[in-house]
Structures are given as structure tokens and as C-alpha cells.
């Protein structure tokens, strides 16, 4: 069964850091671009970052640019989102998603279950 599983979420103080992981099972991520999304209560889902299948291209939402870094380790079939200088407004459920396209896309084919990130003092 093809699945994406996010992990690494939790409670962190403002200014702190978390690293989220997106691990694939049942398929290989090598040929997929991966996006990270988040959804806060009462808000629409927002694109956070994405990375091409090769890792050669990345994109970031303006709200996280300079603070978040997306990376991938295809050997581990895993994509990461390093989140630094976290702010309360970063609080959301974070999802990873895979598209069969090599480059970042508007629509994705596979989604994880999400991991909660809470930034609070």
C-alpha cells in the first residue's frame, strides 16, 4: 500500500526548531516531487514548500522563506522540512504530499495523515 507518513511534530516554544520527516512506504520517492502543506484551525490549506524529484529545485511560501528548509534523502525514501525560528502562526497540521511529476505541481497524488506542530510559550 502506498503511504506517506509524517513525523517530527510536537510542541515547541517560539524561536525554536523542529524537523519534520515524510517517509514513503509502498513506493519510491525518487521520481516524485514532494510538497509540504499546512492547515491551521479554521484556515484553508496552505502550501509551505516543495522540492523537485532530484532535489535540485525548491520553493517556499513567503511566510516561511529564510526560516524553513526542505530537503530529501532518496536513499532513505524520506523528505524533510527543517523549521527554524518558529512562530505561533506556524501552528498547524503539516502534511506532505507526492506528485508523480518531477517538478513541484499544483496538485498532488498522495498525501500523508499529517503531524501537529504547535508553537506556543
For residue range 44-63, list pLDDT tens digits in order: 999 999 999 999 999 999 99
Mention every residue, 6+ apart, whose C-beta is less than 8 A from residue 116.
9, 10, 93, 94
Say if residue 108's pLDDT is above 90: yes
Average pLDDT, the chain: 96
pLDDT value for 2: 86
Say if residue 1's pLDDT is above 90: no
Residues 70-106: pLDDT tens digits? 999 999 999 999 999 999 999 999 999 999 999 898 8
Measure the CA–CA gap between 18 and 41, rounded to whole angstroms: 20
Mention every residue, 6+ apart, whose C-beta is less than 8 A from residue 120.
11, 13, 14, 88, 91
Among the residue ranges 10-14, 37-41, 74-78, 104-108, the one predicted with the least confidence is 104-108
Mention every residue, 6+ apart, whose C-beta is less than 8 A from residue 84.
17, 67, 68, 69
At 75, give phi and psi (nearest 5°): -65, -30
C-alpha of 93 from chain center: 10
Which stretch of DSSP H or E encloses residue 60? strand 58-60
Q: Sign of the C-alpha dihedral, residues 84, 89, 92, 97?
A: negative
pLDDT value for 119: 98
pLDDT value for 70: 98
pLDDT value for 106: 85
DSSP letter assigned to residue 108: -
Amino acid at each position: 500500500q502506498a503511504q506517506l507518513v509524517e513525523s517530527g511534530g510536537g510542541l515547541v516554544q517560539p524561536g525554536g526548531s523542529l524537523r519534520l520527516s515524510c517517509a514513503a512506504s509502498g513506493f519510491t520517492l525518487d521520481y516524485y516531487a514532494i510538497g509540504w502543506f499546512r492547515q491551521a484551525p479554521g484556515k484553508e490549506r496552505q502550501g509551505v514548500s516543495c522540492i523537485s524529484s532530484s532535489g535540485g529545485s525548491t520553493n517556499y511560501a513567503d511566510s516561511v522563506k529564510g526560516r524553513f528548509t526542505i530537503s530529501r534523502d532518496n536513499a532513505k525514501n524520506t523528505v524533510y522540512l527543517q523549521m527554524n525560528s518558529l512562530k505561533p502562526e506556524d501552528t498547524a497540521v503539516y502534511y506532505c504530499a507526492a506528485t508523480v511529476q518531477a517538478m513541484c505541481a499544483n496538485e498532488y497524488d498522495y498525501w500523508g495523515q499529517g503531524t501537529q506542530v504547535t508553537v506556543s510559550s
